[in-house]
Amino acid sequence: MPSHRMPSEADIISTVEFNHTGELLATGDKGGRVVIFQREPESKNAPHSQGEYDVYSTFQSHEPEFDYLKSLEIEEKINKIKWLPQHNAAHSLLSTNDKTIKLWKITERDKRPEGYNLKDEEGKLKDLSTVTSLQVPVLKPMDLMVEVSPRRVFANGHTYHINSISVNSDCETYMSADDLRINLWHLAVTDRSFNIVDIKPANMEDLTEVITASEFHPHHCNLFVYSSSKGSLRLCDMRAAALCDKHSKLFEEPEDPSNRSFFSEIISSVSDVKFSHSGRYMLTRDYLTVKVWDLNMEARPIETYQVHDYLRSKLCSLYENDCIFDKFECAWNGSDSVIMTGAYNNFFRMFDRNTKRDVTLEASRESSKPRAVLKPRRVCVGGKRRRDDISVDSLDFTKKILHTAWHPAENIIAIAATNNLYIFQDKVNSEMH
């Protein structure tokens, strides 16, 4: 796949999200800023040269805050961005940090009125004695200006850190999940939210499980799923009860006793859950694998893919340096046939569900020039070592690809590698190899 490098961000990218058409790509960073990229329309001169992404707008979404009651700083890092479905010319997105969700409206202005009767070109009031005739102001084109304004601020809904937000298919509500609770908001109402899941125990001493991710079903506005640190998924139906503590379905894979260790629970913690576009499947990511679940089968996933099983023997070291707590995201392609997730050393992995083939690619300046085809990488774990193989011990665990996104329709992927954003496009529909 050819690649196109984007300018590097000043801060570490903390979330990446395409909008529903794929025309816009939003990134959030640790500094609380949101950068939106827009895909240039295809050029008629070169029909094979599909549009590339350029910066469309940059704005400061969240600022650092201080919680005086707890003497804690609230990070401005953007945890998640979710686009709202577009209803008019304006685009809207939700961005959230640990505590506060904000609704931003993005509008374009490419015309401005000229020919005012009372004001001159610079806006100064005209001397009325010089006005001899009336004219109708006309709209003249101007340089495109993108304006972003905060329309809603949903604050004070969460005691714990927000880890996910998800817009409902009804386009009127959305949910936000923190470690112990999930709230349902109406997009127009900021001063109250409904608590729909609460797993906080009466005694915090009894706390053994937290919510790690959640998402609404893409079609059924009453269904949502949330994942836990113990590796379970709970599908909940909001029609069943006001408080959805009782799940409708519990998806949990029984533990493999032969692989049991003190780290079993930690590596089973689900870091991301995504419904397929069809709504039939769910994709989950835990530390070493990605799993595809069928909503109709709770007993076990229907597919399991090893992302970096060579790390299994290094869990103690990864526990020591905290890498074992890294939260990787996962993504479906538009047709739900390929799944993607990130790994270490700026590697990311793709799994073709139909051919069962997988590939490891690297997102780095050194290994990919613009327009070059990405070369598959391999991690060798002893035994025969080919040239260009990377050994497990030389993996760079500081270079982790936690955030990835896939264009909703085309083979375009966005990869966040620390503070760099890579966008890879598939010019020719090549097979996975």
Partner 1 sequence: MNCGESARPGSPWFGGHPDGERAQCPCLAPPTAWDPQSCLLQFLYGQPVVWRLLCSDPGLNPAWPACPLTSGGFEQNAMTREELMGLNSAGPSGWLWSRRSCVIPAAFFTQNCVGMMFARGLKRKSAEEPEDVEGCSAGAQAMPSYSLQRQSLLDMSLVKLQLCHMLVEPNLCRSVLIANTVRQIQEEMTRDGTWRAVAPQAAGRAPLDRLVATDILCRSVREQEGECPAPDMGDGQPDLVPGLAVAPAAQAPRSPQSSLWEGDSSRESRGGFQKSLDQIFETLESKTSGSVEELFADVDSSYYDLDAVLTGMVGSTSSGPGSGLQAFASAATSPPSSSCRSDLGELDHAVEILVET
Q: Which residues of the shown chain bind partner 1 in the complex (CB under 8 A)?
A: 70-75, 98, 160-161, 163, 179-180, 203-205, 207-210, 212, 229, 260-263, 265-266, 269, 313-317, 319-322, 325, 392-393, 397
- Nearest approach in angstroms of CB 208 to partner 1 is 6
Between CA 83 and CA 63 the distance in angstroms is: 20
- Nearest approach in angstroms of CB 194 to partner 1 is 22
Burial grade of 132 (CB within 10 A; 0-12, 13-18, 19 or more): exposed
The DSSP call for residue 156 is S
> Is 71 or 133 the residue whose CB approaches partner 1 more closely?
71
- Nearest approach in angstroms of CB 154 to partner 1 is 20
- Nearest approach in angstroms of CB 329 to partner 1 is 15
- Nearest approach in angstroms of CB 180 to partner 1 is 8
Q: Could you give the 3-state DSSP secondary structure of residue 210?
A: coil
> Is 180 or 413 the residue whose CB approaches partner 1 more closely?
180
Query: Of all helices (H) and strands (E), which one includes residue 292?
Result: strand 289-294
- Cβ neighbors of 319 (< 8 A, separation 6 or more) are 263, 266
> Is 67 or 147 the residue whose CB approaches partner 1 more closely?
67
Between CA 263 and CA 255 the distance in angstroms is: 12
- Nearest approach in angstroms of CB 254 to partner 1 is 17
- Nearest approach in angstroms of CB 114 to partner 1 is 52
Q: Could you give the 3-state DSSP secondary structure of residue 143?
A: strand
Mark 9-26 as b/e (b = at least 16 C-beta within 10 Å). bebbbbbbbbbeebbbbb
> Is 90 or 392 the residue whose CB approaches partner 1 more closely?
392
Contact 216, 224 (CB under 8 A): yes
> Is 393 or 431 the residue whose CB approaches partner 1 more closely?
393
> Is 122 or 322 the residue whose CB approaches partner 1 more closely?
322
Q: Could you give the 3-state DSSP secondary structure of residue 48?
A: coil
- Nearest approach in angstroms of CB 310 to partner 1 is 10
Closest among 287, 299, 296 to 259, alpha carbons compared: 287
Query: Of all helices (H) and strands (E), which one includes residue 318?
Result: helix 315-320
Place of tokens 């896939």: 406
> Is 38 or 96 the residue whose CB approaches partner 1 more closely?
96
- Cβ neighbors of 79 (< 8 A, separation 6 or more) are 14, 15, 28, 96, 97, 98, 161, 162, 163, 164
> Is 50 or 229 the residue whose CB approaches partner 1 more closely?
229
Between CA 311 and CA 289 the distance in angstroms is: 11
- Nearest approach in angstroms of CB 70 to partner 1 is 5
- Nearest approach in angstroms of CB 137 to partner 1 is 53
Contact 60, 78 (CB under 8 A): no
> Is 27 or 97 the residue whose CB approaches partner 1 more closely?
97
> Is 213 or 330 the residue whose CB approaches partner 1 more closely?
213
Measured in degrees and rounded to the nearest 5, phi and psi for residue 55 equal -65, 130
Considering just the CA atoms, what is the radius of gyration of the chain in Å? 24
Contact 201, 195 (CB under 8 A): no
> Is 64 or 150 the residue whose CB approaches partner 1 more closely?
64
What DSSP letter does each residue of 372-428 carry, written as one string?
Answer: PPPPP--EE-SSS--TT-EEGGG--TTSB--EEEE-SSSSEEEEEETTEEEEEE-SS
- Nearest approach in angstroms of CB 288 to partner 1 is 14
